[in-house]
């Protein structure tokens, strides 16, 4: 066996997306939005995933229909939406059949190697289906849509790539027809 074949590098495997039910995570048959999570709830989650407690966690980015971009931090992209109501603030997505039900992309800027984040999407949906959650730094994850109000929470472990950008996406796929409303995404930076 030649030395060049033996020293071949392995393909990089993306980290597992740490999807977690922080707090209850869902509020069935409740029209009130899920609350924002506190440091203790997120700190316990991060400890369970990383084996070490975070030193600090602070707001990095909050985006919604009224605030779609924060300079040097990131922006929101809504694909296949019907309406954006800045006074809501919310983004409505078109009623769809069992195919693509709309997508929210969050593009985070000025991200450095080693940065970690907690992410909370707050949405409302009255239909059954699946959320597809993905990140440029992690593998894709899927979870069930829970009517009516739902908080979709996850942790992005320390970033390994040096691109300066991280993409996070939330996509709906319905079992039958359906539509949904995006309220906001709350992203906190975690420091170890």
Give the span between the Cα atoms of 158 and 153, in whole angstroms.
Answer: 17
For 63-121, what is each residue's pLDDT tens digit? Answer: 999 999 999 999 999 998 888 888 888 999 877 666 678 899 999 999 999 998 989 99
SS3 43: helix
Instruction: Confirm if 29 and 146 have CB atoms less than 8 A apart.
Output: no
At the fourth CATH level, the homologous superfamily of domain 16-191 is: Galactose-binding domain-like (2.60.120.260)
Per this entry, what is the length of the chain?
192
Does this model's pTM top 0.85? My answer is no
Domain residue limits, the chain: 16-191
Among the listed residues 83, 176, 165, the one whose alpha carbon sits nearest the alpha carbon of residue 127:
176
CA dihedral 14, 161, 68, 54 (to 10 degrees): 80
CA dihedral 35, 26, 155, 16 (to 10 degrees): -170
For 137-182, what is each residue's pLDDT tens digit? Answer: 888 888 888 878 888 888 888 888 888 899 999 999 887 777 899 9
Give the span between the Cα atoms of 110 and 125, in whole angstroms.
Answer: 32
Report the phi/psi class of residue 104: left, alpha or beta, with left for phi > 0 and alpha for psi in -120 to 50: beta
Burial of 114 by CB count in 10 Å (0-12 exposed, 13-18 middle, 19+ buried)?
exposed
């Amino acid at each position: 066996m030649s030395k060049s074949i033996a020293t071949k590098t392995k393909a990089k495997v993306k980290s597992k997306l740490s999807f977690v039910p922080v707090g209850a995570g869902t509020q069935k048959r409740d029209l009130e939005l899920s609350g924002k999570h506190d440091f203790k709830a997120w700190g316990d989650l991060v400890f369970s995933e990383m084996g070490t407690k975070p030193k600090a966690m602070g707001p990095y980015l909050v985006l919604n229909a009224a605030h779609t971009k924060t300079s040097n931090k990131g922006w929101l992209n809504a694909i296949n939406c019907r309406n954006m109501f800045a006074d809501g603030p919310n983004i409505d997505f078109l009623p769809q059949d069992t195919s693509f039900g709309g997508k929210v992309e969050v593009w985070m800027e000025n991200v450095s190697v080693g940065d970690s984040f907690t992410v909370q999407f707050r949405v409302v949906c009255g239909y059954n289906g699946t959320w597809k959650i993905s990140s440029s730094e992690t593998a894709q994850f899927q979870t069930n849509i829970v009517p009516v109000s739902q908080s979709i929470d996850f942790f992005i472990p320390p970033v390994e790539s040096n691109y300066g950008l991280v993409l996070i996406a939330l996509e709906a796929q319905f079992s039958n027809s359906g539509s949904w409303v995006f309220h906001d995404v709350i992203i906190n930076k975690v420091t170890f």
